[in-house]
Amino acid sequence: MNGLQQFIIGLSFIIFLKLLFILIETQVNGISWSLNQSFDYRSLFGSFWYHLKSALTEDLIFRAALLYLLIKRLGMYRAIFLLAVAFGVYHWFSYGLLGSRIIVLLYVFLTTGFTGYVWGYTYAKTKSILMPLGFHLGWNFINTLFYDTQPYGQLLFQETGNMALQEPYQTYFSLFIGFAPSIITLIFVKSVLKIPSINNLFNSA
């Protein structure tokens, strides 16, 4: 499996997964969407290019450089765990959350840190950043089509209403939304690597 195939598999899988979880969230929270009347293709391509560059930069730093070096020094699992911690802390800064409530910081740290662990595991097993890059790009890009993110957001749809769950069910659902996609992605990666023909190609890379 060449690098382009790895990237396409990662991108296609995560786009499907993200859309599935948007559908789940829409149904559970009773979200109503409307088409963004000011949509233009320039913003769509601008968002894709922006997130390709940002995802590539982060993956080169956290996986292709730091993780590669740490695996040689600490072993695979220790290195992945350490970089996952760093990835979680990094998102406090990239999301501008410093000064937020401790529960918010903890949630972001755990969810993004676990995501970093899964992507790091994918890099270590495939010996390439291209599948995790596909995961990273697809997740961030699809977010911009529905949610209010910076510098691009709600490019295709805008939320016009919702009927959020009552507590504590909303907290339980937020934990599900935060962790389940990464758990499913990890299962997907491990399943793909069990296919003998694909595993042999990775091991010979």
Q: Where along the chain do its domains lie?
A: 1-8+44-143+170-205
Q: What are the pLDDT digits (tens) for 110-158?
A: 999 999 999 999 999 999 999 999 999 999 999 999 999 888 999 999 9
pLDDT of amino acid 2: 75
Nearest CA to 205 among 5, 13, 60? 5
* Separation in Å, CA 128 to CA 4, 84, 116: 11, 17, 15
Q: Say whether pLDDT at 104 is over 70.
A: yes
Average pLDDT of the chain to the nearest whole number: 92
Residue 18 has pLDDT above 70, yes or no: yes
Measured in degrees and rounded to the nearest 5, phi and psi for residue 33 equal -120, 150
Does the pLDDT value for residue 86 go beyond 90? yes
Query: Please, which pLDDT band fits residue 204 given cuts at 50, 70 and 90?
Result: low
**Class of residue 21 by CB neighbours under 10 A (exposed 0-12, middle 13-18, buried 19+):** middle
Cα-based distances in Å from 66 to 60, 71, 120: 8, 9, 10
**CB 21 within 8 Å of CB 139:** no
d(CA 9, CA 126): 12
